[in-house]
Chains A and B, each alone.
Chain A
Amino acid sequence: MILRIVGLAILLATSLVAGELPDGVKVGDLAPTFSLKNVDGRMVSLPGSLGSQQGAILVFTCNHCPYSVKYEDRIIALHNEFAPKGYPVIAINPNDTTAVPEDSFDNMVKRAAEKGFPFPYVMDDTQAIAKAYGARRTPHVFVVSKQKKGFVIEYIGAIDDQPNDATKVEQSFVADAVQALLQQQTIATTTTKAIGCTIKWKK
């Protein structure tokens, strides 16, 4: 009986840990603001850095996760296609760098240089922004657009439907969402799920 009570207590304690993660934003919510350090040493902020842009493609991603690596070239392509049209990419690394030294700021600087990231790659070192958005994994995308009341969440989820092979993609969820916004049409798919690496939360 004592074992069972102890067991239950452990279970409750662990489920509380999991339960501490807030749900984050939903489509239609205001985008949480942030100001985070970019690999060039400058701060990048929402809304401040977006100036006259119409929106942004926020990608929670990192160096170490193989799913993030699989998508690097596709994230670059999204930026190259949509930044000139008003929707630049901002990549945000939310991982605890003690748990994953590969995701340290210095390694972010290196990776951004190796891949020639044309977009900001910022560090969410307190993890507050990942929690505010409800990011759960890398990569995890939030498309935001500028409305009268501020920047609003328009799409949450996967980049496309085919993580393993970019040549087999049938549905490009993020690109389709941004295209719809640019054409002032309704976004057909506003949320999707995807396989990815868990965000490594600070303990």
Chain B
Amino acid sequence: MQQTLIALALLLSPMLCFGQVRPLTLDSLFDRLDRGGDTIFVVNFWATWCKPCVVELPYFDKLYSRYKDQPLMVVLISLDELQSIDKVRSYINAKGWKPPVYLLDEEKPHEWIDRVDSTWSGAIPATLFVRPRSGKRVFYEREFSWSSLETTFRTFLEGDGK
């Protein structure tokens, strides 16, 4: 548990500035996931222009709040253009969501989509559940309702011999 906290603290130290949206490369994301230890990461790929994405974002915020006592980290990664970072910032600030938000700093989607998951066609929303210590990893190219998101998280948590 202590290790989890240290890992979380390490991971979150650059993330804790509320309302901030920073660019993030995939290398940095994977590096942080690798150092995440026992934490379960729920990494959601979205964009302000994607209607089904913004419909499900509140569920990710709710998951983050409701399972605060679990080793859970929700990360929201926007695929908006880098030039639109201010738009993403004002959008996020208006909503007041708590999970950290990044803007993916990558070009050439045909090269990086497979690095996230080989089964991803590139459509969003898409969500990666990963627990670095156990290596368990599940990817979903789909929309979630609150109940399907919570069920998926709990199944992931319980199915991982916690």
Contact = CB atoms under 8 A, between A and B. Distances in A.
Interface of A: 4, 7-8, 10-11, 14, 18, 64, 66-67, 100, 136-137, 157-158, 161-164, 168, 173, 192-199
B87 to A, nearest CB: 12
B75 to A, nearest CB: 18
Given A8-B155, A163-B109, A193-B109, A66 B124 contact: no
B71 interface: no
A198 B52 contact: yes
Nearest to B104: A195
B123 A137 contact: yes
B121 A10 contact: no
B69 interface: no
Can you list the 3 inter-chain pairs with the closest CB atoms, starting with the nearest?
A137-B123, A136-B121, A192-B110
Nearest to A163: B109
B86 interface: no
Contact of B120 (A4, A164, A193): A193
Contacts of A64: 51
B109 A198 contact: no
Contacts of B51: 64, 100
A197 B120 CA distance: 13
Contacts of B120: 193
Given A162-B107, A196-B123, 5 more contacts: A10-B148, A10-B151, A137-B121, A197-B50, A198-B141
A199 B143 CA distance: 12
Contact of A161 (B52, B108, B114, B142): B108
A11 B151 contact: yes
B52 A195 contact: no
A127 B24 CA distance: 37
A198 B108 contact: no
Contacts of B121: 136-137, 193
Contacts of A163: 109
